């Protein structure tokens, strides 16, 4: 019996492509494994000392990252791009792990040593922030708004293409407009944050997001979708930049890194879970109506939380006047 012949791979990478692939693998391993994987343990002692976390808690991130994310596909990538010299290419790529891992203890030491220390102790100052209601209002507001943005953004192409019958070109035009308006949103909201109270700017951003979402119910109308792209894009552009600005104003820069570490983690959970929840509602109801209504409610809830923030910073953990 004749053995089946191996399929012929017509792919013939150029030297420039090979250099690009090797450099990409090197940088990916340098940053994600060398710096991130080997760097995070350099801060475990700070987490235990300042947050009071257990050793199980501080090492759980490493376990979760390996169990969920798995290894990077560098071996497959380089094997595809190199027929000759695969060993040298792989060795060069994995050199990134060694260099990053060797550099990160000194980088973390320098960063920890250079961090400004509050007179009452960073841990005590962070504890004062965590005991203040404004922290939880800001966290709730940012989580709700980012959940609304993430839920709509992740489903926009599905909604336009499969549910509304937009052509690929029309859907691409609207989605591109969202991102184009987000550029204007970043510039506009950054300028406003320097001239208006940051709480007011944040409320404006969240209201824009909440006002844009109902327009999705009028998706058959092209003008309505262009208006959605404008409002949603401007809100999207200001969404992330305003959170650290308001946090710094409310709690001061001495603990801003720790405060933002908590907020960004919470916001990341909201941004990850929201699209799945909207997808589930679409699957079980056969329509995006319930999901989009939920996103509008969540966006309005986030705006309501921001309205309850104090107009002026004050109390423990606020910046000194």
* pLDDT tens sequence across 17-29: 888 888 888 888 8
In a domain, 197, yes or no: yes
Q: Where are the alpha helices (DSSP H) in the chain?
A: 15-28, 38-39, 44-51, 55-64, 74-81, 86-114, 122-130, 133-158, 168-195, 198-212, 222-251, 256-285, 289-307
* 203 and 296 co-located in one domain: yes
Q: Of 115, 145, 163, which residue constitutes the final position of a domain?
A: 115
* 299 and 171 co-located in one domain: yes
Q: How many Cβ atoms are within 10 Å of 113's Cβ, its own excluded?
A: 7
In a domain, 317, yes or no: no
Are residues 198 and 242 in contact, defined by beta-carbon separation less than 8 angstroms?
yes
In a domain, 246, yes or no: yes
Is pLDDT of 317 > 60? no
Is pLDDT of 301 > 50? yes
Residues 6+ positions from 197 with CB-CB distance below 8 Å: 311
* 90 and 170 co-located in one domain: no
Mean pLDDT in residue range 39-45: 80
Q: Which burial class, exposed, middle or buried, applies to 115 when counting CB atoms under 10 A from its CB (0-12, 13-18, 19+)?
A: exposed
* 147 and 264 co-located in one domain: yes
Mean pLDDT in residue range 175-192: 93
Q: How many Cβ atoms are within 10 Å of 87's Cβ, its own excluded?
A: 10
What is the per-residue pLDDT for 123? 64
Q: How much of the chain, in percent, has pLDDT values that exceed 90? A: 48
* 100 and 239 co-located in one domain: no
Read off the pLDDT of residues 231-254 as tens digits, 9 standing for 90 and up.
999 999 999 889 999 999 998 888
Q: How confident is the model at residue 257 (pLDDT cuts 50, 70, 90)?
A: confident
Structural domain span for residue 109: 15-115
Of residues 89 and 229, more confidence is placed in: 229
Is pLDDT of 2 > 80? no
Q: What's this model's pTM, rounded to 2 decimal places?
A: 0.68
Read off the pLDDT of residues 45-67 as tens digits, 9 standing for 90 and up.
877 877 777 888 778 877 777 66
Is pLDDT of 71 > 90? no
Q: Which burial class, exposed, middle or buried, applies to 172 when counting CB atoms under 10 A from its CB (0-12, 13-18, 19+)?
A: middle
Instruction: Please give the Cα distance from 184 to 201 (Å, whole number).
Output: 15
Read off the pLDDT of residues 141-174 as tens digits, 9 standing for 90 and up.
999 999 999 999 999 999 999 999 999 999 999 9
* 156 and 55 co-located in one domain: no
Is pLDDT of 7 > 70? no
């Amino acid at each position: 019996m004749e053995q089946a012949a191996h399929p012929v791979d017509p792919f013939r990478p150029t030297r420039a492509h090979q250099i690009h692939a090797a450099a990409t693998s090197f940088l990916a391993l340098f940053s994600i494994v060398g710096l991130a994987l080997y760097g995070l343990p350099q801060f475990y002692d700070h987490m235990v000392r300042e947050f009071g976390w257990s050793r199980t808690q501080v090492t759980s991130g490493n376990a979760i990252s390996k169990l969920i994310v798995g290894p990077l596909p560098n071996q497959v990538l380089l094997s595809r791009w190199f027929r000759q010299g695969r060993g040298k290419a792989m060795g060069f790529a994995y050199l990134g792990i060694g260099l990053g891992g060797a550099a990160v203890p000194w980088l973390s030491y320098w960063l920890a040593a250079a961090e400004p220390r509050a007179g009452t102790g960073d841990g005590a100052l962070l504890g004062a922030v965590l005991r203040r209601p404004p922290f939880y209002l800001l966290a709730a507001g940012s989580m709700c708004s980012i959940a609304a943005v993430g839920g709509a953004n992740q489903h926009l192409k599905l909604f336009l293409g499969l549910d509304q019958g937009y052509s690929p070109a029309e859907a691409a035009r609207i989605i591109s407009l969202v991102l184009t308006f987000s550029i204007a949103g970043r510039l506009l909201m950054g300028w406003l944050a320097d001239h208006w109270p940051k709480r007011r700017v944040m409320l404006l951003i969240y209201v824009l997001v909440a006002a844009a979402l109902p327009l999705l119910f009028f998706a058959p109308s092209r003008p309505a979708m262009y208006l959605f792209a404008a409002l949603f894009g401007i809100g999207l552009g200001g969404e992330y930049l305003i959170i650290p600005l308001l946090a710094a104003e409310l709690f001061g820069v001495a603990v801003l890194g720790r405060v933002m570490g908590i907020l960004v983690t919470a916001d990341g959970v909201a941004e990850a879970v929201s699209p799945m929840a909207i997808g589930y509602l679409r699957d079980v109801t056969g329509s995006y109506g319930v999901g989009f209504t939920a996103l509008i409610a969540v966006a309005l809830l986030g705006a309501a939380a921001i309205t309850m923030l104090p107009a002026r910073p004050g109390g423990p953990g606020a910046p000194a006047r």
